Structure 1
Amino acid sequence: MNQRNNRRLVLFPGPIQGHINPMLQLAQILHDRGFSITILHTDLNSPDPSPHPSFAFRSIGDGLGQSEASTSDIVRLIMLLNARCAAPFEERLREEVSSQDAPVTCLIADALFSFARDVAERAGVRTMVLRTGGATAFRVFAGFRLLRERGYLPIAESRLEDPVPEFPPLRVKDLPRVNTGEPELFDRILNDRIEGIKDSSGLILNTFEDLEQPALSLLRQEYPIVVFPIGPFHKCGPCSSGSFLAEDRSCISWLDKQAPNSVVYVSFGSIASVNESEFSEIALGLADSQQPFLWVVRPGSVRGSELVENLPGCFLEALEERGKIVKWAPQHEVLAHRAVGAFWTHNGWNSTLESISEGVPMICMPCFSDQNVNARFVSDVWRVGVHLNNGLERRKIAEAIRKLLVEKEGEEVRERAAQFKEKANSCLMQGGSSFQSLDGLANHILSFELTNHQHKPQLRS
């Protein structure tokens, strides 16, 4: 146990790849600040404890069957997790509170879990919330009720190009889309999450002031809680991968042989998928670009196809080793590699922030949720990428790749991307905005000690 301040934090990550990684990164950041760390986690997608020998890991039963654990309907999965995890989580948290280890000073819960604050309050522990997306997208989600009242939602195909003046520069087509057969359930879950954040003792965000200052300023006006933007998390120090898939490190030695800023890295995250026709257009667009590429094709990347495994060999042979396909890549290392000049991404927040932090321009292909918002800001606000509007077509794909890697416009985008990389690094240095925000977060958590002693656990009825 870390004895530097004898304060223990319990962290509760959501069991999705893009949620577990930032929570573990946050845990390491806070451990480096002198807190001891206990990770409570679901059985579903339980994290590997071996890269984190200083943390204590405790599992809670989630009661999910194999079919229920699917991410194909993420809304239903979140609903089931909240229904099944509340009771075992409360039991485990009470065990932690009553243990002989350092006292539990604070619970930091993923925003997915709407029950966490009430459970922690009964156990006599203050709660902070980690939201793993950006501040801008959070404000859009929080405005869903307003967007419905004003007729933007549900999204009508006839209005896709209409502006949304409440959230400039978004258009209707940029509003978050969530694939679910139960839209009313989604609204209820979203409302519960927003209210849970409002009632918490603070909100932690993986972003930084120079990137999202307007949204952060509005959040602080709109919410009666303290907001701590302390990102980019992955740049705060060495952090091990929390990947569910084995990383193919052969791609690093392949990158070592490529010219600087010549390779387009293609990866659509751990959940997003394309159909067979779109997959073919991606392959043909990469071929037509005449640029080297590193392409992540993970299991499940292509919906309804068992033939994808036959494509890579013949495809790469035809391209005479100009491209490399892997099932998963060490993304932090890839984006930091000198050979990578562009990142074709689904614009999940982690990938977007990692690309910005390494100064790598983006080709934006959002698929669902907050990715549409992130992509529009990448292309139109931060101007560090280009947007593949209106579907996938091989000619437009090749043009976008060449625009960023070869043409004059790409030089201007790279210059802006390099400026954001410098800002992402400087905000973490002493005196920088994220460094100061982290100081504030640590002091805020330490201030809970007195109130936790005064607030005794409540007995369950």
Structure 2
Amino acid sequence: MGGRLLLFPLPFQGHINPMLQLASILYSKGFNITIIHTFCNSPNKSNYPHFAFEAISEETLTASPTMQGSVTNVVLLNKVCFDPFRDCVKRLLSNASADEPILCLITDALLYFTQAVADLLMLPRLVLRTSSLSAFHVLRLHPVLLQKGYLSEGLDSHSDAPVPEAQPLKVKDISRTYKIEGEDLAEIISGMVMGIKASSGIIWNTFVELEQPVLNTIQQNFPIPSFTIGPFHKYFTASASSLLEQDRTAISWLDMQAPLSVLYVSFGSVAAIDKSEFFEMAWGLANSKQKFLWVVRPGVIRGSEWLEPFPPGLQEAVSERGHIIKWAPQQEVLAHPATACFWSHCGWNSTLESVCEGVPMICSPSFGDQPTNARCVETVWKVGLVLENGFEREEIERAIRRVMIDQEGKEMKMRMSCLKEKVNLCLMEGGSSYKSLEDLVSFILSF
């Protein structure tokens, strides 16, 4: 095919994975790939010998070798990357040959400054949005919700009342969604929305059958091409782009357990909890009398390195039924015959991986897109439940038993199995994601 694409991921774990998966998908369609990246959280090049890599440096960023997924850091990236990114793309364009032209730029939607660079260099720009369609829809409603008082300090942050403007959210979900309030968040949302509207098209890591009504709404508000080609990880595994080392004992331990007998617990690469919440989780798990595989990421407990907060009695109660590790090969764990349920923070990658393997969910959303994903799991797709009161051992124990033992859980499992089947069909020839990918390839070639 001969064309080259420039891809620029946001340097956070949950954003690097989908971008590198997208790169692999497009490479399989005959495009050559250059990944532009920052020095912080730079991808492991040895896992991608078929891609070219270009690092852009900036003193503000290189001061810290790792960068967490915070609103402040997103704003920082959009400010300090403009000059080095522009210079990098300009150089790549000047060195491109007639045999291998650079066809377009694909950037994370949160790197909205890149639209100005694309316009300056007359290069078409596509955006990748790594959240669900539903979460993006809620996020873009921020000015409306602000105006209607849903973000005011006097609002009851524990209210179960619905939010008609942002279904399926409840009032108490709004404060979690916009946990980091202030000018930074408003700046990011308006920058992202304007950047998307000015772009040539949007690529989504989802599939039509999961979010059709929301897709229709978004297409009315963003009249540019939308390509729903997900789930990305079903084309290529995410493990190669993991920033954390995976513990393979997770699989050997699961191999020794009965089918559909294990609860898998993992809160992703960013979420953090207090010691008191950790204790409630541990007691809830122990009291449920179910087997569990628990990912306790170093640093996930605020103020602790790893498992030091465990009182001896609690550790014994947990170790009877559980296996604790620092990081898991998540897709393999979810696909394992022993895995019955996934207790998750409900980041989009995790939610999508659970759907793809037909595993019902218990949801403990923290911030950003997670509350919306969790409500979709519970009320739209009806394949899991949300822990309404944070971390309380009685509610945790009850939720685990509801999903893993009760009839309610069996019905969730059936609905989740139907979604899994829809995933398999959408990726086959003639399926919705298959056709959308063909459309994307044709669209890029039209540049």
Q: Give the TM-score normalised by the residue count of structure 1.
A: 0.92
How do residues 6-155 of structure 1 correspond to structure 2 at under 5 angstroms? 6-63=2-59, 64=61, 66=63, 70-71=67-68, 74-101=70-97, 102-154=100-152
Contact 1:261–1:340 at 8 Å: present in 2 too?
yes
Q: Distance in 1 between matches of 2:314 and 2:197?
A: 51
> Which residue type is aligned with residue 162 of structure 1?
A
Q: 1:67 to 1:30 in 2, by over 3 A?
A: closer
The alpha carbon displacement at 1:408 in A equals 1.1
Tell me the equivalent position of 2:247. Answer: 248
Tell me the equivalent position of 1:423. Answer: 422
Q: Distance in 2 between matches of 1:338 and 1:155?
A: 46
Q: CA deviation digits over 1:352-371, x for unaligned, max 9?
A: 11101110000000001110
The alpha carbon displacement at 1:67 in A equals 5.9
Q: 1:367 to 1:416 in 2, by over 3 A?
A: same
Q: Distance in 2 between matches of 1:155 and 1:236?
A: 45
How do residues 206-355 of structure 1 correspond to structure 2 at under 5 angstroms? 206-306=205-305, 308-309=307-308, 311=310, 317-319=316-318, 321-355=320-354
Contact 1:62–1:84 at 8 Å: present in 2 too?
yes
The alpha carbon displacement at 1:253 in A equals 0.5
Of all paired residues, the percent bearing the same amino acid is 51
Contact 1:51–1:240 at 8 Å: present in 2 too?
no
Structure 2 unmatched runs, 5+: none
Q: CA deviation digits over 1:325-358, x for unaligned, max 9?
A: 1100011111111110000000001101110111
Tell me the SS of whatever aligns to 2:156: helix
Contact 2:297–2:306 at 8 Å: present in 1 too?
no
> Which residue type is aligned with residue 242 of structure 2?
S
> Which residue type is aligned with residue 250 of structure 2?
C
Contact 1:248–1:327 at 8 Å: present in 2 too?
yes
The alpha carbon displacement at 1:172 in A equals 1.4
Q: Distance in 2 between matches of 1:413 and 1:296?
A: 24
Q: Distance in 2 between matches of 1:17 and 1:154?
A: 32
Q: Distance in 2 between matches of 1:255 and 1:154?
A: 47
Q: 1:325 to 1:155 in 2, by over 3 A?
A: farther
The alpha carbon displacement at 1:311 in A equals 3.2
The alpha carbon displacement at 1:178 in A equals 4.0
Q: Distance in 2 between matches of 1:393 and 1:138?
A: 30
Q: Distance in 1 between matches of 2:269 and 2:305?
A: 18
> Which residue type is aligned with residue 346 of structure 1?
H
Tell me the equivalent position of 1:436. Answer: 435
Tell me the SS of whatever aligns to 1:158: coil
The alpha carbon displacement at 1:390 in A equals 1.6
Tell me the equivalent position of 1:446. Answer: 445
Q: Distance in 2 between matches of 1:401 and 1:445?
A: 46
Instruction: Tell which deviates more after alignment, 202-211 or 95-104.
Output: 95-104
Q: CA deviation digits over 1:363-414, x for unaligned, max 9?
A: 0000011101110110011001011002211111111111111111111000
The alpha carbon displacement at 1:121 in A equals 2.0
Count, aligned residues = 442
> Which residue type is aligned with residue 20 of structure 1?
I
The alpha carbon displacement at 1:270 in A equals 0.5
Q: 1:60 to 1:170 in 2, by over 3 A?
A: same
Structure 1 unmatched runs, 5+: 449-461
The alpha carbon displacement at 1:309 in A equals 3.6
